Structure formats: structure tokens, C-alpha cells
Amino acid sequence: MIDINSSQSIPMQGLDSIISDKITHWLQGAYDTATKKEIQKLIDEKAYTELTDAFYRDLEFGTGGLRGIMGPGSNRINKYTIGAATQGFSNFLNKKYPHQQIHVAVSYDSRNHSDFFAQITADVFSANGITVHLFQALRPTPVLSFAVRSLACQGGVMITASHNPKEYNGYKAYGADGGQLTTPDDELVMQEVAKIQSIDEVNFHRVDKNIQMVGQEMDQLYLDSITKLSLAQEAIHRWKDLKIVYSPIHGTGITLVPQALKCFGFENIILVEEQIAPNGNFPTVVYPNPEEQDALALAIAKANTVQADLVLATDPDADRVGIAIRNTEGNFILLNGNQTASLLTNYLLNAWEKAGKLTGKEYVVKTIVTTHLIEEIAQTKHVGCYNTLTGFKYIGALMTTLANQKTFIGGGEESYGFLIGDLVRDKDAVISCAFIAEMTAFYRDQGISLYDALLDMYQQYGLYKETLISITKKGKAGAEEIRAIMQNFRTHTPDSLGGSKVIRLKDYEMGKETNLLTGTVTNLDFPKSDVLQFITADGSIISARPSGTEPKIKFYCSVKADLPNKAIFKQIEQSLETKITIIMRDLGM
């Protein structure tokens, strides 16, 4: 047993000396006894790999805040890393808004310890003289964004790790516009957090008078506001009995999605009972991610039992939505994020056009790795379409920039996030669920299903097939391997992919686009980001991007073909799937 009260550095066999020194610092520093006991237990068990991952670096406060595995250590989510992040954020806010009473909103999701981390966050803000609007109970991420704007706050924090596995938690920081922090504020907060060299610099001493609780009044304001966005109330009234199965997958969606559907006018909402209760262990799924088929298995089983028309499921913080619809054979199929975003964009623009609301100042937004079908739809309607880097914070920032110039209709990203209207500055599964149901009712009113609407869209614009392939590389070695993969692609650009010559390379990290046929290099008007895009002669687009929140490298493959008639949809789709398989093989993945 190591004496944790010793003032000497503790040598630990099998561990790097720098890591040993860090562990010693935690064992002898101003950390609570429970934390020290957890570390000691790992030492006694000689869990050197786990200790290395927990201490080999400081958990970085990145451009999206914090996200990591919960537990003791400098590279883990715990009271101290959350506290340091909040102290740094507080220091930034006090510098940016001198001589003002600063307000922040704080909310949290259903993950284990989220409520505790939210309390720690509120404590530190309050100790720094900041007024905290703390939600009384768990609420979706978009409601936190809405509250920041509604309460005229200068900032906000959402405790969530989105759709990550149960071991994870995180900390998302928001600015005064209700969007996640962007340049330069994100970098300035990162600098303030990095300045904190000791836990003794974090003020954990709660000041009760600086904390105000947020209750159901915010729910009602939010619901009243989003209901006004509805575009098809007559169709909803005729199809108010549409059978909708909904699952919150043990998350925050249960607090507002059913209510939002009812406010829009739907009366036949069937909940997946096994997944109603918020539970950070997510006992019925491996991953609480609506992108995964297994996460919707119970909802689809329920839908088949009750003969439902639509399946909706949201992730733990209810900013992403997955849906299942019936095909022509009556079987439920899952739509991916690109399909859902395209259907919503097509519906919204058609509805706005029919209502005579398109004036030439409207726009939609997508990310660079999201389907180009959205651009095609927007061009047909003479609506502007902007591209941003991956991450909804860039969409939110663009909305803020254009707020007094143009009208935002909707926007989204391939990772199952979409937003309708400008009430929020983050992806919003609550609003999206309501509009997906509305869209289903609208098409049903025209005598077609949502699946029919999908095929009609493909016939008009072409069949776009997008696939995301994620490759996980855990720990320090994994991070190094991902960097090596990206570097290899930069220095050895593939000659062809899927049988088509690679003719352009976009390197968002270098800010350059290279025409590989002529050698011409042009600048990309985007912030730097570690993303590579290969564009082939036949229009295929393949993007490689390390995840900013997970130990993964992601490949986004987009291919396209004409769909002359709906009868050959499956045949054309299969040929595109085969092409994507060949592309990934050509990439060596």
C-alpha cells in the first residue's frame, strides 16, 4: 500500500515517470478521499493501462467543451475536471462582461452523475459572482439553448455526452446567442481553462443567493413557441390519430417530445414502456444512439404490435432523432440522418413555397459531410444553401451572423441532427419529432406515405446514397494511429476510388483545395479543421475526419445515380452500396 500522505514522488513500476508524478499529485493534493481511494485501488490492482489512459494527459477543453470517460484522473470526467472547466469559463465571462451581472443557464441529461456535475457547475459559477439559472430536473439540450436566449444569459452549460456509451459524460459550453462557443470565444475559454494549474484555483464554494431554479415555466414557453412554427395544421387535424411510437431511449426526450407532439395536434402517441424511465445505464441498449438499429429494436417491435405508422427515437439529451417508416411491403426501415434531413428540407421548402412565404431571403444550412441532395433541393426553390464545418455549432454561428439579413428555414447534419426555425441555436430533436410527424400527416393527406415521398424525391433529384463508416481506435495508441492515417492520406492521395479518378482534394486543415488534374491550388474559406475530402470524376465525395468527441476516425461516403423509376430503387441502391464497399477497400479500410 502506498502512503498517500507522503510528500515524496511515488515511483510506480510499469508507468511512465510523468504519469507517476501526476498520480502522486492527485494522491497528495486537495482531492477528496473517495477519489484517492479509487486511484489507490487501481494501483493495488496494477491496472497500469487504465491508469495511463486516466493520467497521460489533461482532458482537453476543446472547441465543443469536454467529453470523456467518467472516473478519477486528469483525463477523465469528474468533479475536478468539471470544476476547472467552469472556473475557466467563469474567468472568461467575467473578463468579457466587466461591470455586468452575468447570467448563465445550466441543464443536464440522464447520464450517471449528470445531476451532480450540474450542481458542481452551478456551485463554481455562483462562487464567481455569476447568476445561475439551474434546471430543477433533467431537460433536453435544445431547451438549454432556448433558455439561454429566453433568459438573456451570457452563457450556458449542458452536462451531456450525447449518444456516447454509458461510461461517458461531458460538458457543452454555450455563448450568449444560445449556440455552442465558436471562435474566438471558444479559444479564449480554452486558454482560461489551460491557465488553471492547480485545483486550489477552483472556487467550489456555492453561493446560494446566486442560484435560481428553472422549472416547468420554461417548458411551456418553449412548447408554445415551437407550436407556432407548424405549417400543416389542417392536415394534422385530419390525421390526428396517426399512430406514432416514441422512445426516449432512457433519456431526456420523455420530458418534452410527447408534449410537443400533442401540442402540434397528434393524439395517438404510444410510448415504449421499457425505455421511458431516464437511466444512465441505458439497460435496454448497448449504445443509446438512434443511429444504431439495435437502439430502435424495442420501438419497432412495439410499432409492429400496434400497427403504428411512424417510429421516433431520441438520444439521451434529445438533440438527435432516429426514425423508422414502413416501405411498400409494410416493413419498417430505418432512415439515416441524410435521408431525414433531405425529407425535412424538401417538405419545408415546398410548404413555404405553397404558402407564398419564399421571398428570396430564405436559406438552409448543411455541413460539408452532409448530403448534397439538400443543395439540389434548395437550388430548385431558389433558396440559399450554406455549407459549414462538421458540428452544429457552426450552423448556429452562421444563423447568428445572418439573423438580421436572412430568414433561416431549417438545417442539419448527417449525424441525425436537424433544426427548424430560429428559436434554438443547436440541433433539436423535439422540434424535429414534431415536424417529422407533421410531414407524415401532410403526405398521408395527399394519399402517399413518407416512403413514397422519399422515392419521389429521389426520382426528381437523383438517388443519393451516403454511408458513415466509423473506425474506433482507443487510448493513446489509438489517437496516434488516427493521426498517422490522416497524414498518410495527405501525402499519398488515392489515384482512384470506386473505379473513378480522384480529381480534387480538399484539405480543410491546410485550408487548400487542389485540382489534381491541373495542379491548381485555391484557398478554402473555412476555419481550419482536420478533414480531407476526395472528389471523384463521377461526383462521389469521400470525407475522412477524426471525431472531435470520440476515439474514432470517420469516413463519409456519398455516391449518386439516376432513378428512372421507383420499381428499380432497390436495384440502384444495391449498386451504390457495392460502390461504397469498393471505395472503402480502395482506401485500405
- Which residues are designated catalytic? 162
Q: Which of 505, 471, 508, 490 is nearest to 584 (CA)?
A: 471
Q: Which of 421, 109, 427, 432 is nearest to 260 (CA)?
A: 432
Find the Cα–Cα–Cα–Cα dihedral 160, 164, 167, 170, rounded to 10°: -30
Q: Residue 268 in contact with residue 243, Cβ under 8 Å?
A: yes
Cell match 457547475: residue?
A: 121
Q: Residue 493 in contact with residue 487, Cβ under 8 Å?
A: no
Q: Residue 363 in contact with residue 331, Cβ under 8 Å?
A: no
CA pair distance 298, 132, nearest whole angstrom: 38
Q: Residue 424 in contact with residue 393, Cβ under 8 Å?
A: no
Q: Which of 347, 349, 342 is nearest to 363 (CA)?
A: 349
Please compute, for residue 238, the number of CA atoms within 13 A of its CA located in the half-sphere on the CB side: 12
Please compute, for residue 53, the number of CA atoms within 13 A of its CA located in the half-sphere on the CB side: 18
Find the Cα–Cα–Cα–Cα dihedral 24, 478, 392, 540, rounded to 10°: 170
242 phi, psi to nearest 5 deg: -50, 130
User: What is the residue-wise DSSP string for 525-582?
Assistant: -S---S-EEEEETTS-EEEEEE-SSSSEEEEEEEEEE--S-GGGHHHHHHHHHHHHHH
Find the Cα–Cα–Cα–Cα dihedral 569, 443, 142, 96, rounded to 10°: 90
End-to-end CA gap in the chain: 46
- Taking CA atoms, 245 is separated from 17, 48, 211, in Å, by 55, 46, 38
Cell match 450554406: residue?
A: 386
